[in-house]
């Protein structure tokens, strides 16, 4: 028997299918946001501390993911941290010093939109740090994160990965969308030019900072909606809280998975 032919989709059916997909996404997102509120209630009641690091290439979707993640959470117990360029004083201080004041206290969840891993990525590629500073960071960061974990902070590290073609498309779209003008920066063009350098820096970061107590999770983010849903599901599956909808938070291992060197070799992670 031959292969079953795919059903042709008429022009009349297409809008309906897109609407159904959008409705499904919105419904799933809402239900996951309810789960996040349940988690926050548990976190507040038990004075727990959660720290989530969002890393990835420029235009990988970190902003949108964080926005939908925190949309219905209590602003008093939820903080998003996106630090700018360090001042001269901060540059002369211990590298991690500028991040320490933003770490979560009891009852809090803190999300870093880029974190201390700037040194392993953009600073390394663009020459904003010396070789010695980079090496000191790579040696120190596992020890720093181990101290945080031993102090009771639960750390989750997510890297949003997109293809080179998708990055070009999204960066180009920024210039034509008046609501995204604030995202345009001189670094955009450099991101494309230095694609291979960023890939090499990312691979070194994974190899040297992926640990048992603070592992890296990679998110296949070419599809923004699927990436957001999958990341939230993965996160919720890894934390304990009351009345969890176990069927809803089953993660998709094809979209979010713990880093392993073999995923670089087989092409799952962009090169």
What confidence tens digit (pLDDT) does each residue in 151-170 have?
999 999 999 999 999 999 99
Count of beta carbons in the 10 Å neighbourhood of residue 18: 10
- Cα–Cα distance, 116 to 149 (Å, whole number): 16
Confidence at residue 6, expressed as pLDDT on a 0 to 100 scale: 39
Burial class (CB in 10 A: 0-12, 13-18, 19+), 196: exposed
Under 8 Å between Cβ of 214 and 204: no
Q: What is the pLDDT along the chain (271 residues), one digit of tens a residue?
A: 343 343 444 445 555 557 788 999 999 999 999 999 999 999 999 999 999 999 999 999 999 999 999 999 999 999 999 999 999 999 999 999 999 999 999 999 999 999 999 999 999 999 999 999 999 999 999 999 999 999 999 999 999 999 999 999 999 888 777 766 666 666 666 788 999 999 999 999 999 999 999 999 999 999 999 999 999 999 999 999 999 999 999 999 999 999 999 999 999 999 8
Alpha-helix residue ranges (DSSP H) falling in the chain: 13-45, 62-70, 88-91, 122-126, 131-150, 164-176, 187-193, 195-209, 224-237, 262-265
Confidence at residue 31, expressed as pLDDT on a 0 to 100 scale: 98
- Cα–Cα distance, 167 to 134 (Å, whole number): 26
DSSP-derived secondary structure letter, 8? P
Confidence at residue 14, expressed as pLDDT on a 0 to 100 scale: 56
CA dihedral sign, ordered 62, 65, 71, 73: negative
For 217-262, write each residue's pLDDT tens digit. 999 999 999 999 999 999 999 999 999 999 999 999 999 999 999 9
What domains lie within the chain, and their CATH numbers?
Answer: 20-25+49-97+110-265 (3.40.50.300)
Burial class (CB in 10 A: 0-12, 13-18, 19+), 206: buried
- Cα–Cα distance, 219 to 64 (Å, whole number): 14
């Amino acid at each position: 028997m031959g292969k079953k032919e795919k059903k042709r989709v008429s022009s009349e059916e297409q809008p309906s299918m897109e609407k159904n997909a959008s409705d499904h996404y919105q419904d799933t997102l809402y239900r996951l946001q309810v789960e996040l509120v349940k988690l926050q209630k548990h976190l507040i009641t038990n004075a727990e501390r959660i720290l989530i690091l969002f890393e990835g290439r420029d235009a990988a979707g970190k902003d949108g993911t964080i926005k939908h993640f925190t949309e219905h959470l209590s602003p008093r117990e939820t903080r998003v941290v996106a630090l700018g360029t360090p001042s001269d004083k901060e540059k002369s201080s211990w590298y991690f010093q500028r991040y320490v004041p933003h770490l979560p206290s009891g009852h809090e969840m803190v999300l870093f939109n880029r974190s201390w891993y700037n040194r392993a990525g953009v600073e390394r590629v663009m020459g904003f740090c010396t070789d010695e500073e980079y090496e000191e960071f790579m040696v120190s960061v596992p020890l720093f994160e181990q101290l945080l974990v031993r102090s009771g902070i639960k750390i989750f590290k997510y890297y949003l990965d997109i293809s080179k073609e998708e990055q070009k498309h999204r960066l180009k779209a920024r210039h034509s969308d008046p609501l995204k003008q604030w995202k345009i920066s001189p670094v955009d063009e450099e991101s494309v030019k230095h694609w291979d350098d960023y890939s090499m820096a990312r691979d070194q970061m994974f190899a040297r900072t992926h640990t048992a107590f603070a592992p890296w999770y990679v998110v296949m983010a070419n599809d923004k909606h699927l990436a957001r849903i999958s990341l939230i599901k993965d996160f919720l599956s890894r934390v304990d809280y009351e009345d969890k909808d176990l069927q809803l938070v089953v993660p998709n291992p094809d979209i979010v998975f713990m880093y392993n060197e073999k995923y670089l070799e087989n092409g799952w992670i962009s090169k």
